[in-house]
Amino acid sequence: MDVWFVVSNTILLACIYGTLAIGVSITWSSLGLLNLAYGFIFAFAGYGAWLFAQHVSAWGPAVLASGVLAGALGGLFVCALAFIPIHDKPNFTIRGLIATLAINLIGTQSLLWWFGPRSKSLPEIFGTWKLSLPGMTLTADKAGNVITSVVMLLLVLRWMRSSRGGLEIRAMMMNPHAASIVGIGVRRTSFYVMAITGALAGLAAVLLSQTYYISPFGGLTPMIKAVSIALCGGLGSVQGAIIAAIVLGLNEALTTVAIGGRYVLITQFLMIILILLVRPRGIAGILDRAREA
Amino acid sequence: MTELSQAQRTWRNPLFAWDSAQEVEQLPTASYVSHQEIWERTRSSRTELFKVGRLRYYHKWAGHGQSTWRRSRYWPTRRRVLRIRGEYNDKSLRREKTIVDKRPIWWVVGLMVLALVPLITPERLENTLLTAGVTFGIYAAINLCWMLVIGTASIFSLATYAIVGTAAFMTAYASTMFGLPWWLLPPLGAIIGLIFGGIIALPATRLDGFYYALLTLGLNELCRVYFVTSKEFGSATGGLYGAATYLPQDWSSTGQLQLAYYACFTLMLLALLLYRFINGRQLGRILRIAPEKREAFAEATGVDFRQARVRVFLISSVGLGFIGGFYSANYGGVAFSIFSFDTVLLGLAMLVIGGIGRAEGAVVGTLIVVFFDKVLITLGPIRLIIIGLIMLFVVLYLRNGLFGIKQQFRTWRDKKKSERRSTRAEKGGEMLPEEATEARNPDDVYRRRYDKMQREFLKKLVTPEVINEHRRAPQGQHSESLERLLIYFRNQPQPDKYAISALQSTNGYRIVALSGHRGVAPRVVEDKIYRSPVEAYHGVFLRRVQDLLES
């Protein structure tokens, strides 16, 4: 078994999954909204980046930035449509879930209607160079993916730790009631949160499009993976999401090498079910302190 | 009012002649106010009239006293066909019957219309409508079982189509490989459903709410990937076909469609029966005492809600497996699209649009969504966008789907009504028209009205002179105005009536308010301690005057 291949793939997958899962996790713990329109935001960001590359410029960083911006825009859209009107209504958790699912349905069908079913591909953002190290070769897209997502995650986490807006979000994550009592506006914070998580989805969309293509329904599998990783790590915990991303990335890389790519999802879900049976609130989740809707 | 109080009179004390030491000879007092005048003024109506009342219209059927106890029941049970309330009309003294719950009538009418659809469809629409009807029957049955899981057992499972799809694929595989006859497929599917349901019910006991929803969503995706990629289940052809079907091949296509329509309709009826038997009987009742977030209470009363939930889950899994077997016997196979995310989404849309927790919600929601999805098929992706928009609208604006509208509207109307009422309510005033329509005893309405007029009159008697007179001598002979006030105060009912309690410790007096209930101590009204009973009497008088003026 090629150890280097497994390690590098683990890191790559963990980075992309982590980017997605942290977004889901933050949204749930601060807003109490389970954003299942993530697949739509993902595809929307991909198409935004594609339009930018087609009509404005195909320069790598600009395309990346446009994808991130489109993702943030998609996040704001979902927030305005699914969170703002019903966040103070009875039965919000379940209604929010269904509202985001409805937005997902509408959004992906609109994309299908507008752009057609043919998938699009983005230009090579990180160029086509290769770096040969003893025992392995680093391709441009792998290195670029890892570096970009790590940098973006570090930026977001740094912002959450050291800025006023980040403080508000963290306060909402700890105790939404108390946060609103001390004057943190739920609606304003929700826009920050959704923009940031949307931007993370946009980044992941552009990065993944280096390997896969952009299609209206292309966001579904990443969304389901993200949601299950966030679930496995414990909804609301950034560290948990990172640990789960690494564990599941390792699992995926190992499965690919050992049994074959077909069985990735199967082993992944068996793993998740096992983890959840042992720890019902995820790896980092504590039963009593998890957010109860 | 002002002119009345300005024109002062003196009051001559009749007791002065006997006891001139303690009594004064005359005192200034308020002039005489004719209560007739006040009465006239109050009687002249200035009141704005409001539309009030919350009567719900029920048609009254005639009933005969002799047939009071004659009731139709479902044959082996004691259950009545319709819930009918019988009563005597107070005014006409006739016997009347009211149908309290009309839902059975709507069900019968609706199901009869559905049963007649193949006979009344025009020729050129027959193909589209009957194909949609077949889909409707199957999906309605699936949704009814799903409603049992989501609504009755409140397990938010999204793996319904995974169970149906797995059962359908397995039975289709068994039929193509081992040549099983069509009538064996549904029972086989039921067994597969039981096994599969048993496996996914395991985490349901540990996880709650959304954790389970997300897990089952993933499980659905897992099934899709597994079946799409495995060669045995026809990864090349987009599905597995060639299973035995109950449709005779030598029939015309119209005849086959009609047979399929009635078969699926029967399947839906069976699912309705299952829903009725689970939700309306012991299991459903056990679970109704343990809704989400209130499980602790149910547990404390000795209800084993976990076991009940798992049982409902397993039973509906058996139902779903049966439907899966029927599915492959109906279409002669099954396509991968049954596992797709859009199928789950559309299914959820059907439940949500109708309203979660009701059989009629599942059926009507399915009807709406299937209509858009299968009948208006020429619209392309727009039809799914329309379904998504309906779903979004329902979720954003309705609390519990279409069938919750009635309840939601009533709640909203009551809220508005009480808001409007609170802007008009006054302390100690007349009964508001809304209250008056609900008052049991009409005398109360008039008592309140008379009381209000009396207060209006008495308020005009409160003047500084009268208060001074009372301060001088709370007891004994008084002028007319003061006497009227005191009589009114003394006649007030016991609850919250002011009284004086003598304090043993400090040798003082304090004002308390009586509770009006035997054994409940009076509450202390103020901290002030009066030195003498006379001062305390006057304190009580002042409080009562203040309460009168405030009302």
DSSP string, B211-231: HHHHHHHHHHHHHHHHHHH-G
Structure confidence at residue B234 as a pLDDT band (50, 70, 90): low
**Structural domain contains residue A203:** yes
pLDDT digits (tens, 9 = 90+) for A58-108: 777 888 888 899 999 999 999 998 888 888 887 788 888 889 989 998 998
The residue-averaged pLDDT of B239-246 equals 80
pLDDT at A75: 92
Shared domain for B358 and B260, answered yes or no, is: no
The residue-averaged pLDDT of B163-174 equals 90
pLDDT digits (tens, 9 = 90+) for A119-151: 777 777 766 666 666 666 667 777 777 888 888
Higher pLDDT, A289 or B532: B532
Shared domain for B69 and B150, answered yes or no, is: no
Structure confidence at residue B286 as a pLDDT band (50, 70, 90): confident
**Structural domain contains residue B395:** yes
Higher pLDDT, A119 or B549: B549
Shared domain for B272 and B396, answered yes or no, is: no
Interface test with B, best of A79, A98, A279 (most B CBs within 10 A): A98
**Structural domain contains residue B109:** no
DSSP state of B73: B
**Structural domain contains residue B49:** no
The residue-averaged pLDDT of B446-462 equals 88
Q: Which of B377, B404, B421 is the last residue of a domain?
A: B421
Top mean pLDDT of A201-210, B8-17, B108-117 is at B108-117
Q: CA-to-CA distance for A244 and A252, rounded, in angstroms?
A: 12
Shared domain for B97 and B211, answered yes or no, is: no
| Interface contact flag, B215 A228, Cβ < 8 Å | yes
In sign, the C-alpha dihedral spanning B520, B525, B529, B532 is negative
pLDDT at B499: 92
List of residues 6+ apart from B512 with CB closer than 8 A: B498, B499, B500, B501, B522, B523, B524, B525
End-to-end CA distance of chain B: 17
Interface test with B, best of A83, A109, A278 (most B CBs within 10 A): A109
Q: B172 pLDDT exceeds 70?
A: yes
Q: B95 pLDDT exceeds 80?
A: yes
Structure confidence at residue B37 as a pLDDT band (50, 70, 90): confident
Phi, psi (degrees; rounded to nearest 5) at A151: -60, -45
Q: H-helix or E-strand containing B172? A: helix B160-178
Which chain B residue is nearest to residue A85, measuring alpha carbons? B396
| Closest to A163 in 3D by CA, of A187, A198, A141, A192 | A192
Extract long-range pairs of B462-471: CB within 8 Å, 24+ residues apart.
B462/B545, B462/B548, B462/B549, B463/B5, B463/B29, B463/B30, B465/B8, B465/B27, B465/B28, B465/B29, B465/B30, B466/B29, B466/B30, B467/B541, B467/B542, B467/B545, B468/B27, B469/B11, B469/B27, B469/B29, B470/B538, B470/B541, B471/B538
Q: H-helix or E-strand containing B85? A: strand B84-88
pLDDT at B189: 92
CA dihedral angle for residue A262, residue A265, residue A267, residue A270, rounded to 10 degrees: -150
Least confident of A112-126, B268-282, B367-381: A112-126
**Structural domain contains residue A286:** no
The sheet carrying B84-88 orders its strands as B60-62, B95-99, B84-88
Q: How many Å lie between the alpha carbon of A65 and the closest alpha carbon of chain B? A: 29
Q: Which two tokens stand for residue B114?
A: 């559905």
**Structural domain contains residue B4:** no
Chains A, B: CB pairs < 8 Å: 107
Backbone φ/ψ region at A170: left (φ over 0), alpha (ψ -120 to 50), beta: alpha
pLDDT at A293: 44
Q: Which of B379, B401, B421 is the last residue of a domain?
A: B421
Contact in structure between A184 and A168 (CB atoms under 8 Å): yes
**Structural domain contains residue B54:** no
- What domain range includes position A265? 3-278
The residue-averaged pLDDT of A3-31 equals 81
Q: B2 pLDDT exceeds 50?
A: no
Q: CA-to-CA distance for B170 and B223, rounded, in angstroms?
A: 12
Structure confidence at residue A21 as a pLDDT band (50, 70, 90): confident
Average pLDDT, rounded, for chain B: 85
| Identity of the residue in B215, B385, B396 whose CB atom sits nearest the CB atom of A86 | B396
Least confident of A127-131, B68-72, B174-178: A127-131
The CATH code of the domain that includes A42 is 1.10.3470
The residue-averaged pLDDT of B48-72 equals 76
Q: Which two tokens stand for residue B6?
A: 């300005």
pLDDT at B4: 45
Top mean pLDDT of A151-160, B114-123, B173-182, B319-328 is at B319-328
**Structural domain contains residue B484:** no
**Structural domain contains residue B222:** yes
**Structural domain contains residue A25:** yes
**Structural domain contains residue A48:** yes
Least confident of A47-61, B149-163, B252-266, B391-405: A47-61
Q: Which two tokens stand for residue A17?
A: 């999954």
Phi, psi (degrees; rounded to nearest 5) at B362: -60, -45
Shared domain for B166 and B305, answered yes or no, is: yes
Shared domain for B348 and B335, answered yes or no, is: no
Domain tally for chain A?
Answer: 1
| Interface contact flag, B381 A109, Cβ < 8 Å | yes
Q: A288 pLDDT exceeds 80?
A: no
The residue-averaged pLDDT of B522-549 equals 91
pLDDT digits (tens, 9 = 90+) for B218-232: 888 888 888 887 777
Instruction: Tell me the sheet residues that pair with B511.
Output: B500
| Interface contact flag, B213 A97, Cβ < 8 Å | yes
DSSP state of B457: H
Q: A194 pLDDT exceeds 70?
A: yes
The residue-averaged pLDDT of B12-25 equals 77
Shared domain for B171 and B271, answered yes or no, is: yes
pLDDT at B381: 81
Q: CA-to-CA distance for B119 and B133, rounded, in angstroms?
A: 13
Query: What ipTM did this prediction achieve?
Result: 0.86
| Closest to B381 in 3D by CA, of A112, A127, A240, A6 | A112
Q: CA-to-CA distance for A187 and A43, rounded, in angstroms?
A: 25
The residue-averaged pLDDT of B419-447 equals 79
pLDDT at B54: 64
**Structural domain contains residue A128:** yes
B86-97: burial string, b at 16+ Cβ within 10 Å, e else: eeeeeeeeebbb
Shared domain for B331 and B345, answered yes or no, is: no
Shared domain for B330 and B390, answered yes or no, is: no
**Structural domain contains residue B496:** no
Among chain B, residues having any CB pair with chain A shorter than 8 Å are 156, 202-203, 206-211, 213-215, 217-219, 221-222, 225-226, 229, 341-342, 345, 348-349, 352, 380-382, 384-385, 387-389, 391-392, 395-396, 399
Domain tally for chain B?
Answer: 3
pLDDT at B235: 64
The residue-averaged pLDDT of B94-110 equals 90
Chain B partners of A277 at a C-beta cutoff of 8 Å? 202-203, 206
Q: CA-to-CA distance for B202 and B317, rounded, in angstroms?
A: 13
Q: B294 pLDDT exceeds 60?
A: yes
- What domain range includes position B71? 63-103
Shared domain for B203 and B97, answered yes or no, is: no
Q: CA-to-CA distance for B307 and B318, rounded, in angstroms?
A: 16
Shared domain for B294 and B364, answered yes or no, is: no
Shared domain for B240 and B285, answered yes or no, is: yes
Q: A292 pLDDT exceeds 70?
A: no
Chain B partners of A285 at a C-beta cutoff of 8 Å? none
pLDDT at B49: 67
Q: Which of B339, B356, B375 is the last residue of a domain?
A: B339
DSSP state of B281: S
Chain A partners of B200 at a C-beta cutoff of 8 Å? none
pLDDT at B473: 87
